[in-house]
Amino acid sequence: MKFFVDTADINEIKELAATGLLDGVTTNPSLIAKSGKEFVPLIKEICDVVSGPVSAEVAATDYATMRKEAEVLRKIADHVAVKVPLTPDGLKVCKELSDDGTMVNVTLCFSPAQALLAAKAGAAFISPFVGRLDDISSDGLNLIQDICLIYQNYDFDTEILVASVRSPMHIIESAKMGAHVMTSPASVIKQLYKHPLTDSGLAAFVEDWKKTGQSIL
């Protein structure tokens, strides 16, 4: 499973990129607003740090304006994935950009039917939102399972990018189902390191090593 971080905080991105475990970045208008930075220069800065896909979302909702914005975004770097909403106009833009060799991330997916349309439109990524479905008492992970089954049936190239990830459970369960990518806040990725037995075991090793009076260096 590829790991993307869902943030526009350049310091968070640099910290995770330094681990060598970060495969890409996703952003959205809300994250850009939170950063307080200019959109296009910020995406360029992120692309300079991360060599994998960097999702940059159009702000418009109509076809003509989305298409113009997409032209600006895809010129920032070759590894920019233009992010479009899962609407008729968004999928039209997706099809045209995909046919022209540009990566497209179709976002705000909440049903298997929508995911099927995105794959047929040639999306590089489909972003189903598990956490937001959980918020309305629906099971977001069921959506991931359904999309995995449909995509396997027809051998679509579109990668399932699990979004709106709220906990390590979302990541692990999605990985078990065969989802290709997950994107989450940096805080959730860092939770994956943690286990109480790792902490207690390491503490015991450190204490026992001190008793030897030795030094490796």
**152 in any annotated domain:** yes
Q: Quick one: what percent of the chain has pLDDT higher than 90?
A: 100
Asked if 75 is an active-site residue, the reply is no
**64 in any annotated domain:** yes
Q: Which of 34, 44, 75, 83 is catalytic?
A: 83
**63 in any annotated domain:** yes
SS3 label, residue 8:
coil
Predicted TM-score (pTM) of this structure = 0.95
**217 in any annotated domain:** no
What CATH number is given to the structural domain containing 140?
A: 3.20.20.70
**43 in any annotated domain:** yes
CA–CA separation, 156 and 147 (whole Å):
11
CA–CA separation, 27 and 49 (whole Å):
14
**120 in any annotated domain:** yes
Predicted confidence (pLDDT) per residue in 136-158, tens digit = 999 999 999 999 999 999 999 99
**179 in any annotated domain:** yes
In which domain, by residue range, is 20 found?
Answer: 2-212
The owner of tokens 């999928």 is 91
**139 in any annotated domain:** yes
The residue count of the chain comes to 217
Could you give the number of structural domains in the chain?
1
pLDDT band at 39 (very low <50, low <70, confident <90, very high): very high
Please name every residue paired with 16 in a beta bridge, in sequence order, or none if there are none: none
Q: Are the C-beta atoms of 80 and 56 separated by less than 8 Å?
A: yes
